A and B are shown apart, each in its own frame.
Chain A
Amino acid sequence: MQFIAILKDSVREALDARIFWIIGIVAGILVLLGLTMSFEPLPMGKVVIGSLITGLTSNENKQGPRRAVLGPRSGGGGLFDAFQGIFRQSNAKINLLEAEPVNGLNLPSAEWKLRLELPREIAKKQGAVDSATFLRDNFGRIANTPVVAIKSVKLVSGSGSAQSDLFDLEIVPLDGFLRIWPHKWSMFFGGLTILDCSTRPMTSFDVLGNQILLLESILVAGIGTWVALMLSVALTSFFIPAMLKKGTVETLLVRPISRWRLLTYKYCGGLLFIGFGTTVILGAVWVTVSFKAGVWSQALLWMIPVIVFYYAFLHSISTLGSVVTRSAVFGLIAACLVWFSLFLLNVAKESILMMDQVAPIVAGIPNPQRSGTVEPGPKIADSTFGKVIMGTHRWLPRPSEIDSFVRSKLQEDLLLGREVEKSPFSPEILDWKESAGITLGHTILALLLACLVFSYRDP
Chain B
Amino acid sequence: MAGPVLSVSGLTKRFRKFEALVGVNLSVEPGTVFSLLGQNGAGKTTLIKVLLGILKPSEGTARVLGYPVGSVQARRKIGYLPEDHRFPEYHTGPSLLEFYGGLQGIPRHERRKRIGFWLDRVGLGGRESVRIRGYSKGMKQRIGLAQALIHDPDLVFLDEPTDGVDPVGRREIRDLMLDLKRMGKTLFLNSHLLGEVELVSDRVAILNKGKMVREGSLTELTGGRPSWIFGFAKDPTTFRKTLMTLGVPNTYLDSNQASPFHQWEVFPKSEQVLGELVKLAGEDPGGLRFLHPRRESLEDVYLDSLGKKEAAST
Contacts and interface: CB of A to CB of B under 8 A. Distances in A.
Contact of A250 (B56, B72, B85): B85
Interface stretch (A10-18, A176-184, A214-222): A10-18
A258 B55 CA distance: 14
A257 B52 contact: no
Nearest to A457: B56
A254 interface: yes
A133 to B, nearest CB: 69
Interface in B234-252: none
A17 B89 CA distance: 11
Main secondary structure, interface of A, reads helix
A254 B76 CA distance: 9
B94 to A, nearest CB: 12
B88 A255 contact: no
A67 interface: no
B80 interface: yes
Nearest to B71: A256
Interface stretch (A1-9, A185-193, A325-333): A1-9
A375 interface: no
Interface string B88-109: 1111000100111111110000
Nearest to B82: A250
Contact of B99 (A5, A17, A256): A5
Range of interface residues on A (Cβ < 8 Å)? 20 to 34
A383 interface: no
Contact of A256 (B76, B88, B90): B76
B54 interface: yes
A242 B88 CA distance: 8
Contacts of B39: none
A246 interface: yes
A199 interface: no
Contacts of B53: 253-254
A254 B73 contact: no
Interface string A248-283: 101111111110000000000000000000000000
A250 B103 contact: no
**Sorted from nearest, which 5 A-B pairs have the closest CB atoms?**
A5-B102, A247-B86, A16-B90, A255-B103, A256-B75
Interface of B: 49, 52-56, 72-73, 75-76, 78, 80, 82, 84-91, 95, 98-105, 147
Interface of A: 1-2, 4-6, 8-9, 12-13, 15-17, 242, 245-248, 250-258, 456, 458-459
12 contacts: A2-B103, A8-B99, A12-B88, A12-B90, A17-B90, A245-B86, A246-B84, A250-B54, A254-B53, A257-B103, A258-B72, A459-B54
